């Protein structure tokens, strides 16, 4: 699984195996901040249910 030469080469480039992308962590922080600013998971859940009802009602009436 682990190749010591790969580990050494990555270490020389200041990289590690299985390190999450900084961009991914940044966007996760943005999403979580938005959730918190909107009022938390309960508000997000309510909005999601309202939006899904609109979409399902539209699909039923096509």
pLDDT digit string (tens) for 6-39? 888 888 888 777 777 889 899 999 999 999 999 9
The C-alpha atoms of residue 37 and residue 42 are separated, in whole angstroms, by 12
- Taking only the tens place, the pLDDT of each residue in 42-62 is 999 999 999 999 999 999 998
pLDDT score at 6: 86
Residues 10, 3: contact at Cβ < 8 Å? Answer: no
Which burial class, exposed, middle or buried, applies to 8 when counting CB atoms under 10 A from its CB (0-12, 13-18, 19+)?
Answer: exposed
């Amino acid at each position: 699984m682990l190749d010591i030469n790969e580990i050494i080469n990555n270490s020389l480039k200041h990289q590690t195996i299985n390190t999450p992308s900084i961009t991914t962590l940044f966007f996760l922080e943005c999403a979580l901040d938005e959730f918190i600013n909107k009022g938390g998971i309960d508000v997000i859940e309510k909005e999601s249910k309202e939006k899904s009802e609109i979409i399902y009602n539209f699909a039923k009436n096509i």
